[in-house]
Amino acid sequence: MTSGFSDLSVSVSDEVRSTTCYMCACRCGIHVHLRSGRVSYIEGNRSHPVNKGVLCAKGASGIMQVFSPSRLRAPLKRVGPRGSGAFVEISWEEALSTAASWLRPLRESAPEKLAFFTGRDQSQSFTGWWAQQFGTPNYAAHGGFCSVNMAAGGIYTIGGSFWEFGQPDWDRTKLFVLFGVAEDHDSNPIKIGLGRLKARGARVIGINPIRSGYNAVADDWLGITPGTDGLLILSLIHCLFEAGRIDLDYLARWTNAPLLVNATEGAEKGLILRNAESQPFVIDRRTGQPAPWDGPGVEPDLGATYQGHRTVFQHMAERYLAAEHAPEAVAERCGIPAGRIRALAAELADVAFNQAIEIAQPWTDFRGNRHETMVGRPVSFHAMRGISAHSNGFQTARALHLLQIILGAVETPGGYRLKPPYPKPVEAHPSPHFTAVPGQPLSGPHLGYVRGPEQLALKADGSPARIDKAFSWEAPFSAHGLMHMAIANAHAGDPYRIDTLLLYMANMAWNSSMNTSQVMAMLTDRDASGAYVIPRIIYSDAYASEMVAYADLILPDTTYLERHDCISLLDRPISEPEAAGDSIRWPVIEPDRDVRGFQSVLLDLGVRLGLPGMTNPDGTAKFADYADYIVNHIRRPGVGPLIGWRGADGSKEGRGEANPDQLRRYIENGGFYQAHVPAEARFMKPWNMAYQDWAVKTSFYETPQPYLFSIWSEPMRRFQLAAEGHGAIQPPDHLRARLIRAMDPLPIWYPPFGDDEAAGWGYPVHALTQRPMDMYHSWGSQNAWLRQIRGRNFLYVPTALWEAHGFEDGDYARVTSPSGQITVPVAHMAALNPHTVWTWNAIGKRRGAWALDAGAHEAKEGFLLNHLISELLPARGDGHRWSNSDPVTGQAAWFDLRVRIEKAGPQDRSLPQFPDLPRVVPQGRERRR
Amino acid sequence: MTTLPKSTARQLGLVIDLDTCVGCQACVTACKGWNDQGPAVAGLSDRDPYGAEPDGAFLNRVHSYQVAPDGGGAASLAQTVTFPRSCLHCQDAPCVTVCPTGASYKRAEDGIVLVNEAACIGCGLCAWACPYGAREMDPSAQVMKKCTLCIDRIYNETLPEVDREPACVRTCPTGARHFGDFADPESEVSRLTRDRGGYDLMPALGTRPTNKYLPPRPKDRPVEVSPLSPLLEIRAGDPAEGLAGWLDRILRKI
C-alpha cells in the first residue's frame, strides 16, 4: 500500500510573522503563518518567555477570531431608541467629530462628566494617561471586578503579587499549593509549571471547592467551602506558630515583625513606634538597646518589649496562637477535617525547613551585610480570583502572603519569586489623583496606593470625587477602581451626574456586570424630560457583543492581529523572575473593514480636543498613531513605553532616548524584549543591593527602594484610627464599625458579608462560576472551534444536593438568590464541595449578539449567574445597603453568592430570556475555503 | 477488506500522561488548526459553525469523567479525570481490515494508520469498527478523517527539526503528550511506558493500540509526616503565661 501523501515536506506557509496573543490575558508569543496574505495557522513561539512555544486552546483558535462573523465593520451611530440596536454606519470623520463635539464642552466645564472605563484593556498606561490629559478623575480598567484583592493584598504586604508580578520558583519548588484560581491568570505559565512539577515528582495541593482542571491533577484536593480560605490559612499559621515552625531569622531580618507597635493610648496607638528622627527602630539583641531598623550588623529582637510597646511579632503570636484558629475550631466551617489541616501544616513545615535548599550565590543586603549563600524554602503558592472575589478577599490575600512569609518562602530559592518591576513597596507607588479642573489635565495618575485617610479621593465636603467611589471610605484601597459600580452610580447620580460614559472592551450590558437585567434598564432609563439618565455612551469593541446595542456611538476596534499594542513595564509587563520583559503587537494583517485600533482613535480624538501631551503647540498631532506613540512617547526622562533597544542606535536598555527603529527591532526579535537580572540579584530582591541597583539602572525607580515586608500594615491601622475617632478626616458613622473590623493591621478572617445570615434567610448553598481554560470571557462563543468544545453550560450540583432534590439528567433547577431568580439546566458532579453549585462563566449569550443563530445553545439554554448577583447587598438593620464588594479594595464579591435551588423538571430553555437584540452584523455562516 | 502489514519497522505513537493532563483542550485546537490547513488532511470542516447545532470534524477530543474511588478517608474523595482521545494507531487496526476500498491503511514503515481521502467512499464502516470512536466523518466533505500523527510535520523537512512532532505534542502546555517510536526500547515513550505503568486502552479487544496512557498517580493519600508537636500546651492554663512561655522557648531557637 502506498501513501496517499505524495509530498510530506510541504512548506507550511508563505511567511511567518511573530506577535503577541490576545485570546486571553496571558500574552503569549505566537507565530502567525500567512498564506497568500491570509492567516492560515497560529502556533506558539518557542523563544518567547511567557509560553516557551506552547499554546492553549484559545491561542490556537485565534484564527477563527480573525475570521469571526461578529467583527464590527464600520463606525455606527444609534438612530433608534437605546437598546433597540438600530444603527447606521457612519464615516470615521463623522464618528470622531461627533465624539469630539460631545467631549469638548465637558473638558471645558466639568471634566469629571466623562467617565472612561476600560475592560480587557492591555494598554492601561496609555488609556490612563489619555484620561489624565483629559482631566477626568473617572478612569479605571476592570481590575475592580476582577482581582484587585490579590494585587493590592500583595502590594500592601510584600510589595508584589501573584501572576504578572510574581510566580513560584517552578525549577526548585518541592511543594506547590494552589488556592482557587481563574485559569487564565495566568494560563500557559501555570500549565507549564505544573507540568514541570509533575515531571520531577514534586507535590501539588489544590484548595478549591471544585475539583476540575488544575485541581483535578493535584495530588491532594481540599474541597474548601467558599469564602473560608482565610480561615484555613490562619489555621495553618496557628499550627506553625504552635509548633514553633516559623522562619525566625527571616522574620527578624526582612519583615516588620521586630518593629515596635505603639501602645500609648491616643492618635498613634497601633502605629509603628518611631524615634525622635521619626524613624522606626528595633531592639538590638546584642545590646538590648534601640537601634536603627536598617543599621549595619543590627540583630533585631523579635521578642522585645520597650517601655510597654511590644513587637509586631508578639502581636502575631498572641493572635494566631489563640484557640479560635485551631484546626478543630475551623474544620466544620471550612469543610476540611482538622486532621487534614494539621497534616498540611506539617507538610509545609517539613518541606520548608527539613528540605531547605541553598544556592552558592554571595550577595549583599541593604544593611551592608554580605551573605555567602541564599537559603531557600521550597514551598510555593499561587492564588487568584477564587480567594479574592469575596468581601473578605483582601484580608485573605494578606493572610496567604503572611503564610508564605512565616515559612521564609518569599523571594528565596524554591519559594515565590517577584518579577520586575516588582518588588516595589507601597511608598514607591503614586497615590490617587482626582481633582478635576476645567480645561486642565489631572495633576497625576488616577490610580495609586493610599497610605492614610488624607489620600482618599474625597471632595472638600467629604463626598467621593470619583463616580465609582474608589478611594472613598467604602473602598479606601481600591487601587484598580470599581468599574462594576460605574453604571449603577452614574444612573443614580450618586455621587453626581455624568454626561458621557466611554467604555472599551467591556461587556457591561451582559456578563461583565452584576445584576445584568437592572444594568440594561439603567442604560436605557430616561428622566422626566424623556432624556436618557446616562446621557451619552460611546463604546469601542471589535465584536458585536451585547454591549454594542446600548451605545450611542460605536468605534469599531480591530482584531488583535490587525493592531499595534504595547505590553509595557509601565503597567502590566511580561516579566519573569530573572528578566524584565515587554512586548508588542503589530499588524500582521491589515483590516479588511473600516475599523481602527482604539488607541490610535483615542490619539486622534485627543488631538481634536487639543489634549496636552498628544497635541503640538500648532494644534497638529504629536503622534501619527499609536505605533508612533509607543516609540516616541517619553513618560519620564529617558523612559518610554518600551525598555528594549532604546537610544538612537538601539544600544540602550531601560533608559535612553527614543529610537525610531525600535518597533522593527522588536518585530525581528519575535515581538518582545528581555532585560536579564544579574546572577547576584536573582533572589532576595527587596533587600538585595545588586537588584536594587539594577532596578534603578533599568528604570523601575529613581533610587534604591529596599523595604521590610508589612506584616503589620500601618496604612490599614491609620484607617482604623480614623474610624475610632482620631484625626481630622473622619468616616461616616455608619461605616466606622466595618472599617475597624476590615482594616485590621494584622491579617484576620471574617465571614463574607451576609454569609452568617444567608442560611437563615433561606439561601443555604454557595454558587460560583469558573472560567474554562478554553474560553475567555464572552469572546469564545463567536469562535467556531471553541463553541463546539464548550457551547453549553450547566449548573453543576454536588451529590448530596442532587439526591436530596431528586434531580435527573435533563432537569432544570430554579435558582434563587436575595436579588433574583434563574431557571437553568443541571448536571451532577461528584468532585465538588457539598454546599456549592457552580457553572462555567460567560457561556450564556443574548439572542442576536455575537453573530450567533437565535437558536444557539448559548442563547437558548446557556445562562449567567450575574442575574442573581446585585451590586448592593440587602438592607441592613440601619437601613444602609452595602456595596457587594470587599470593604478594603471594593473588589466585586462575585463569589459571596448564596442561593437556594429547587427542581424545575425538564424545560426547553433557561430563564430569564430577553428580547432578541437586532443584529448589527449578519449571522455567521460556514466559512468558504 | 484491506490487509495490515505483518510488522512495521518503526512503531510511532503517543504517550499521554493522565496524571498531568489538566483537560485544557490545547491539543484539540492545535490539531484542528494544523489539519484544517493541510496538507495531510484536506481540511476539517465545520458545518453550521454559528448555528444551533454546530458540527465540525476534530481528530482529537478531550473528555472529562468523575471517578469515585473507595480508598477510605480522604482517599475516597471523588476525582475528575480528563481523557484525551484520538486514533491509537493500533497494530491490529479493525478500521483498516474493514475498509472496502483500501482507503484506510497502516504504513509498514512506521505503523501510522491513514486514510487516503481520494479512495474513501464515506461508507463509515471504519468508524463503526473502531472501538475508540477515533474516526470522524467530515460533515461537508463526507469522507473519513483521522489522526495522521501529523505525518506532514514529523517528516517535513521544511520545518526546523525541533518542530517535527505532532501539533498536539508541540502545543501541550503541561507536557502531558509525548511522541516517539515504541519499537525503540530506549525511546522516551518506551521508557515512560515502562517507568510509569503505561497501559493499553481496552486491551481485551485485541486491537493492540500503539498509543499508551500513563495512569494518574494515587491521590489524596494521608501525608507521611506526623502532625507538628506544639512547643508547649498554650491552650492550657493562663493564656498570658502560655504566650510568654511560648515566646521564651521559640526565641531561644534563634
Task: Say which residues have a Cβ less than 8 Å from residue A897's Cβ, sequence separation at least 6.
Answer: A766, A767, A768, A817, A865, A868, A869
In which band, very low, low, confident or very high, does the pLDDT at A5 lie, cut at 50, 70 and 90? low
- Residue of A8, A299, A351 best to disrupt the B interface, most CBs of B under 10 A: A8
Q: Do B29 and A326 touch (CB under 8 A)?
A: no
Q: Which residues of B touch A58 (CB under 8 A)?
A: 29
* pLDDT score recorded for residue A357: 97
Between A143 and A117, name the one with better pLDDT. A117
- Calpha distance A469→A845 (Å, rounded): 30
Q: What is the percent of chain A with per-residue pLDDT over 90, rounded to a whole number? A: 92
The correct answer on CATH 3.30.70.20 for the domain covering B12-214 is yes
Q: Do B157 and A9 touch (CB under 8 A)?
A: yes
Asked if the model's pLDDT at residue A325 lies above 80, the reply is yes
Q: CA A337, A340, A346 angle in degrees (round to 5)?
A: 145
Compute CA distances A380 → A203, A391, A400, A547, A723, whole Å.
11, 25, 11, 40, 36
Mean pLDDT value across residues A580-607 = 98
* pLDDT score recorded for residue A144: 85
- Calpha distance A52→A58 (Å, rounded): 16
Q: What pTM was computed for the model?
A: 0.97
Compute CA distances B236 → A305, A551, A889, whole Å.
24, 66, 39
Asked if the model's pLDDT at residue B239 lies above 70, the reply is no
Nearest in space to A769 (alpha carbons), one of A836, A830, A718: A836
Q: Which residues of A touch B80 (CB under 8 A)?
A: 211-212, 215-216, 831
Between A88 and A84, name the one with better pLDDT. A88
Q: Quote the mean pLDDT of chain B.
A: 92
C-alpha cell at A592: 479588511
Residue appearing with cell numbers 512555544: A53
In which band, very low, low, confident or very high, does the pLDDT at B236 lie, cut at 50, 70 and 90? very low
Helix (H) or strand (E) holding A629: helix A626-632
Asked if the model's pLDDT at residue A928 lies above 80, the reply is no
Mean pLDDT value across residues A700-708 = 95
Q: Which residues of B touch A198 (CB under 8 A)?
A: 17, 19-20, 174
**Per-residue model confidence as pLDDT tens digits over B139-154:** 999 999 999 999 999 9
In which band, very low, low, confident or very high, does the pLDDT at A267 lie, cut at 50, 70 and 90? very high
Task: Say which residues have a Cβ less than 8 Å from residue B171's Cβ, sequence separation at least 6.
Answer: A43, A44, A54, A55, A60, B26, B27, B30
C-alpha cell at A667: 518585530
Q: What is the ipTM of this complex?
A: 0.96
Asked if the model's pLDDT at residue B223 lies above 70, the reply is no
Strand partners, A714: none
Contact status of A693 with chain B (Cβ, < 8 Å):
no
**Helical H runs in A790-926?**
799-804, 857-860
CB A228 within 8 A of CB A750: no
CB A13 within 8 A of CB A28: no
CB A95 within 8 A of CB A553: yes
CA distance B110 to chain A (A): 12
* pLDDT score recorded for residue A1: 36
A 721-740 residues inside an 8 A Cβ radius of B: none
Q: Do B220 and A221 touch (CB under 8 A)?
A: yes
Contact status of A48 with chain B (Cβ, < 8 Å):
no
**Per-residue model confidence as pLDDT tens digits over A758-801:** 888 899 999 999 999 999 888 888 999 999 999 999 999 999 99
CB A447 within 8 A of CB A477: no
Nearest in space to A194 (alpha carbons), one of A215, A210, A224: A215
Q: Do B156 and A317 touch (CB under 8 A)?
A: no
Nearest in space to A267 (alpha carbons), one of A730, A774, A786: A730
Q: Which residue of A has its CA nearest to B177?
A: A195
In which band, very low, low, confident or very high, does the pLDDT at B36 lie, cut at 50, 70 and 90? very high
Least-confidence region, from A358-362, A584-588, B69-73, B141-145 = B69-73
Q: Do A220 and B159 touch (CB under 8 A)?
A: no
C-alpha cell at A554: 460605536
Mode of pairing for the β-strands spanning A370-371 and A220-222: unpaired
Q: Which residue of B has its CA nearest to A40?
A: B37
Picking from B80, B106, B221, the nearest residue to A212 by CB comes out as: B80
**Per-residue model confidence as pLDDT tens digits over B99-122:** 999 999 999 999 999 999 999 999
Q: Do A35 and B254 touch (CB under 8 A)?
A: no
- Domain borders along chain B are 12-214, 230-254
**Per-residue model confidence as pLDDT tens digits over A517-575:** 999 999 999 999 999 999 999 999 999 999 999 999 999 999 999 999 999 999 999 99
* pLDDT score recorded for residue A2: 39
A 345-374 residues inside an 8 A Cβ radius of B: 345-347, 349-350
Q: Do B49 and A927 touch (CB under 8 A)?
A: yes
CB A534 within 8 A of CB A496: no
Q: Quote the mean pLDDT of chain A.
A: 95
Q: Do B46 and A926 touch (CB under 8 A)?
A: yes
**Per-residue model confidence as pLDDT tens digits over A31-52:** 999 999 999 999 999 999 999 9
Picking from B82, B116, B156, the nearest residue to A8 by CB comes out as: B156
Q: Which residue of A has its CA nearest to B33?
A: A41
- Residue of B223, B231, B232, B246 best to disrupt the A interface, most CBs of A under 10 A: B223
Mean pLDDT value across residues A178-197 = 89
In which band, very low, low, confident or very high, does the pLDDT at A85 lie, cut at 50, 70 and 90? confident
* pLDDT score recorded for residue B244: 81
A 157-186 residues inside an 8 A Cβ radius of B: 183
Q: Report how many Cβ contacts below 8 Å link chain A to chain B.
A: 294
Asked if the model's pLDDT at residue A193 lies above 70, the reply is yes
Backbone angles phi, psi at A194, to 5 degrees: -60, -40
Q: Which residues of A touch B119 (CB under 8 A)?
A: 4
C-alpha cell at A361: 550565590
Asked if the model's pLDDT at residue A732 lies above 90, the reply is yes
Asked if the model's pLDDT at residue B222 lies above 70, the reply is no
- Calpha distance A138→A125 (Å, rounded): 15
* pLDDT score recorded for residue B240: 57
Q: Do B17 and A240 touch (CB under 8 A)?
A: no
**Helical H runs in A724-795?**
733-742, 755-761, 786-789
Mean pLDDT value across residues A91-96 = 98
Asked if the model's pLDDT at residue B254 lies above 80, the reply is no
Q: Do B158 and A5 touch (CB under 8 A)?
A: no
Radius of gyration of chain B (CA): 25
- Domains of chain A, earliest start first: 76-143+428-560 (3.40.50.740), 162-421 (3.40.228.10), 715-745 (no CATH), 755-906 (2.40.40.20)
